Amino acid sequence: MSTAVLVELSAGENPLICFPPAGAGASYFRFLAQDRAVSAVQYPGRESRFREPFATSRPELLKEITAHLALLPNLGQATFLGHSLGATLAFESALGLQRLDLSPARVVLSARNNTPPGTSPKAPDGDATTDEELKEWLLGLGGTRPEVLAHPELAELILKVARADLRLGAQGGATGLIDAPILTLCGDHDPAATTADMAGWAERTTAAFHQVTLNGDHDALRHNPQLFIELLEEKS
């Protein structure tokens, strides 16, 4: 098990454990690293783990993540935050930990529609989609700057990571309910997720469920960091 599975971005109280979206690494969440303990899961094949091969099996990736998280002494006080693909991994990590009689204090799911177990959300095919189609999709989400994708070497790297993560996202969802409260966040102009479709997450918890709609696109979470922190404090 790699010691780089969890990357600490800032120290403090009220631990926040983040799960990055497709195509991103742990550093995506640096915008939240302020006056609280913020760590982020580092998937294989990027940033501090760039020498490792991409994960090809979601169950195996989740097994690695949950094995690492299960060792945390303050897991019961932690908030899981997953954005886009990371929302699926955050929920399924909580589900896996629950089988070990462990649980975070709550789970925050951002920009990811709930889909029935065994199905996958609407997204490009990680293998069949052309580079141009994939670039257009990434730009449409709003989280990737056009000048980045215009750079040949950067674009090649971003597309390679995105394809690997799209393959993971298409592998279907796990069954089961979690006992932790769920908070969902969705941008009011998100082309990939809607508040209405995210309402289905209410059926995946035996605890409280809350929804918040933010101003913005698929990357609305990153454009509303202070509001998000306030929501965490309000629902503590």
pTM of this structure: 0.93
Region 71-77: what's the mean pLDDT?
Answer: 93
Region 51-68: what's the mean pLDDT?
Answer: 95
181 Rama sector, left if φ>0, alpha if ψ -120 to 50, beta otherwise? beta
Token pair of 106 as six digits: 């709550």
Q: What is the pLDDT of residues 9-55, one digit of tens each?
A: 998 777 999 999 998 999 999 999 877 899 999 999 999 999 999 99
Q: What is the overall mean pLDDT for the chain? A: 91
**CA–CA separation, 6 vs 209, rounded Å?**
27
Q: Which CATH superfamily is domain 6-122+174-234 in?
A: Alpha/Beta hydrolase fold, catalytic domain (3.40.50.1820)
206 Rama sector, left if φ>0, alpha if ψ -120 to 50, beta otherwise? alpha
How many CA atoms does the CB half-sphere of 97 hold within 13 Å?
27
**CA–CA separation, 88 vs 104, rounded Å?**
15
Banded model confidence at residue 235, pLDDT cuts 50, 70, 90 = low
Banded model confidence at residue 236, pLDDT cuts 50, 70, 90 = low
Would the pLDDT of 114 be above 50? yes
Q: What is the pLDDT of residues 158-197, one digit of tens each?
A: 899 999 999 999 998 889 999 999 999 999 999 999 999 9
pLDDT of res. 203: 95
Banded model confidence at residue 234, pLDDT cuts 50, 70, 90 = confident
